[in-house]
Amino acid sequence: MPDKFDLVVIGAGPGGYTAAIRAAQLGKTVACIEKRSGKALGGTCLNVGCIPSKALLDSSELYDVTVHKLARHGIKVDKVGLDLATMLKRKDDVVKTLTGGIAGLFKKYKVTPFYGAGKLAGGNKVTVTTDDGKVTELEAGHILLATGSDSIELPFLKYDGTNIVSSTEALTFPEVPKHLIVVGGGYIGLELGSVWRRLGAKVSVVEFLPRILAIADGEVATQVQKLLTKQGFEFHLNTKVTGATTGRGTVTVNAEGKDGQKLALEGDRVLVAVGRRPHTAGLGLDIAGVEADPKSGKVKVDTHFRTNVSYISAIGDIIDGPMLAHKASEEGVVFAEQLAGMKPHLNYDTIPSVIYIWPEVSSVGKTEEQVKETGKPYKVGKFPFAATGRARAMDEIDGFVKVITDAATDRILGVHILGARASELIAECVAVMEYHGSAEDIARCTHSHPTLSEAVGEAARMAYSGLPINF
Ligand SMILES: Cc1cc2nc3c(=O)[nH]c(=O)nc-3n(C[C@H](O)[C@H](O)[C@H](O)COP(=O)(O)OP(=O)(O)OC[C@H]3O[C@@H](n4cnc5c(N)ncnc54)[C@H](O)[C@@H]3O)c2cc1C
């Protein structure tokens, strides 16, 4: 007799584990299957994504501050050294604590974990196959697919796990690369490039498009490129990688510019960060008759996360939308609450995104390019951090806040922040946009002084009244 559950979740990433916990809190019997080795819960995000990358970004930022910025604050440090092994171990400890925390939450809320590969077995059945080949069959009232995504591999630049790698290996380089070549100018490449640049690597980014951060606001992306160039990044835009040759501990990346100019970059590590694709291999979609988009591989769902098979749903990176952890986990909550008969709603227009380079980048809503495309009149309010007391006090004056509004109604259409702690500042804008607020709503909220959030208030004041006070 198979074990029976109201809900069987396949994949214990931020989408899957959140859905499992929420459904269990709402009275459902829940199983959650995870195939990652070492019985590690938390998915890409906790194990090889958001958390380890941010742990290294925070450590490397402290190192960079110590080496380059403390002297300006009048702090003398005798000899600064890098203990990379300790830095990597701290990152691993952070991951271990957090993944262990999920196991604790499963216990607390009575979610039953199964460790092995989950597969749709037809009807309401799911099988779990462990590494040693043991198969367990589960029966589910409802099945949730939350199997996430994998790094895309380029056919002419195959991963070798050492010299040509994905983001996973770039989180564990045992020594600082001499020259790291990053293929792809998206957020993962720039974040991991920042880690190793701060620790002493030369970093070159090769990007096929004429700009980095393809989906960010254009003005922000241009400014980011300038700031990263000042930090030592080298950019090759409009440049297509055509292949690579590996020597003894070296890789030569061959590329060609749009103008036909050939480029050969020699480095010791190549990080390929050209995007991610949904992970559905071996999941048995064909057995269950679940439809996926033939081009993107994403599982097709309706607005309630239901696939074409009524008792199978999907959330997170394997369905449409931004591949972000908080998008996956919000979908998990909404899915579970809908399963329990509640009527929650997720507003995809107000999902923020953050790039944890320095200074940080955050955004919510439409870019100026997207607003322009609608043809409707709009306003832009911009305020530089250099004009705020707190940024001056911190000696972090780079960047600005940009608020884009509907010219007729003052409703906020998008906010883009480049600056210190932009990751935290965006939350206020998300909340106001969620309530369909205006720039005047933000401007009339009192912002503590002196804080970086004053720049958000002033950019909003600029958008609705044409004039900030402090600039
Ligand atoms: C380097 C890096 C940095 C990132 N930084 C950020 C960030 O700062 N902020 C952010 O929002 N997002 C970030 N992301 C993206 C984020 O990690 C993903 O969007 C998020 O993890 C998606 O969640 P998910 O639950 O859909 O899938 P995942 O987190 O990928 O989890 C899916 C899980 O399902 C398991 N699985 C797959 N198939 C099966 C199967 N058949 N049986 C059992 N288990 C299976 C996998 O092992 C995996 O553990 C980053 C990603 C990377 C790679």
User: Considering only CA atoms, which of 428, 470, 426 is closest in space to residue 449?
Assistant: 470
For residue 77, report the distance from its CA to the centre of ligand 1, in Å: 39
CA-128 nearest atom, ligand 1:
42
Q: What percent of the chain shows pLDDT beyond 90?
A: 98
CA 9, 298, 119: angle at the middle one, nearest 5? 35
Ligand 1 pocket test: pick from 50, 150, 188, 331 the residue with the most ligand atoms within 8 Å of its Cβ: 50
Task: Look at residue 231 in the predicted model and tell me its pLDDT.
Answer: 97
Contact 206, 181 (CB under 8 A): yes
Would the CB of 69 count as within 6 Å of ligand 1? no
How many helical (H) and strand (E) elements, i.e. helices and strands, does the chain have? Answer: 14, 22
Exposure string of 174-209, with b = 16+ CB inside 10 Å and e = fewer, is eebbebbbbbbbbbbbbbbbbbbbbbbbbbbbbbbe
* Residue 59: partners with Cβ closer than 8 Å, 6 or more residues away: 87, 90, 91
Torsion 303-308-310-315 (CA) sign: negative
CA-118 nearest atom, ligand 1:
42
For residue 145, report the distance from its CA to the centre of ligand 1, in Å: 13
For residue 13, report the distance from its CA to the centre of ligand 1, in Å: 5
CA distance 181 to 170: 11
User: Considering only CA atoms, which of 104, 143, 110, 103 is closest in space to residue 125?
Assistant: 143
CA distance 63 to 77: 12
CA-42 nearest atom, ligand 1:
49
What is the Cβ-side half-sphere exposure of residue 250, based on CA atoms within 13 angstroms?
8
Would the CB of 277 count as within 6 Å of ligand 1? no
- Ligand 1, atom 38, residue with closest C-alpha: 147
CA 3, 5, 7: angle at the middle one, nearest 5? 140
Q: Which residues of the chain have pLDDT under 50?
A: none
Residue-wise pLDDT tens digits, 120-178: 999 999 999 999 999 999 999 999 999 999 999 999 999 999 999 999 999 999 999 99
Task: Look at residue 471 in the predicted model and tell me its pLDDT.
Answer: 79
Residue-wise pLDDT tens digits, 263-319: 999 999 999 999 999 999 999 999 999 999 999 999 999 999 999 999 999 999 999
- Ligand 1, atom 35, residue with closest C-alpha: 11
Would the CB of 166 count as within 6 Å of ligand 1? no
First to last CA, the chain: 72
Would the CB of 193 count as within 6 Å of ligand 1? no
CA-47 nearest atom, ligand 1:
49
Ligand 1 pocket test: pick from 33, 94, 130, 147 the residue with the most ligand atoms within 8 Å of its Cβ: 147
Contact 124, 208 (CB under 8 A): no
β-strand 149-151 against 276-278: which pairing, if any?
Answer: antiparallel
For residue 35, report the distance from its CA to the centre of ligand 1, in Å: 12
For residue 115, report the distance from its CA to the centre of ligand 1, in Å: 17
Respond yes or no: is residue 236 known to be catalytic: no
| C-alpha dist (Å) from residue 269 to 29, 91, 227, 329 | 47, 21, 23, 33
Q: What are phi and psi of 440, to 5 degrees?
A: -60, -35
CA distance 352 to 423: 9
CA-324 nearest atom, ligand 1:
19
* Residue 168: partners with Cβ closer than 8 Å, 6 or more residues away: 48, 151
CA distance 219 to 416: 9
* Residue 227: partners with Cβ closer than 8 Å, 6 or more residues away: 359, 398, 399
Catalytic residue, candidates 68, 304, 436, 449: 449
- Ligand 1, atom 34, residue with closest C-alpha: 11
Task: Look at residue 1 in the predicted model and tell me its pLDDT.
Answer: 58
Residue 137, token pair as written in the block: 């069959």
Would the CB of 125 count as within 6 Å of ligand 1? no
- What 124-127 contacts at long range (C-beta under 8 Å, 24+ apart), as own/partner pairs, is 124/311, 125/2, 126/8, 126/10, 126/33
For residue 394, report the distance from its CA to the centre of ligand 1, in Å: 35
Element (H, E) at 309: none
For residue 276, report the distance from its CA to the centre of ligand 1, in Å: 10
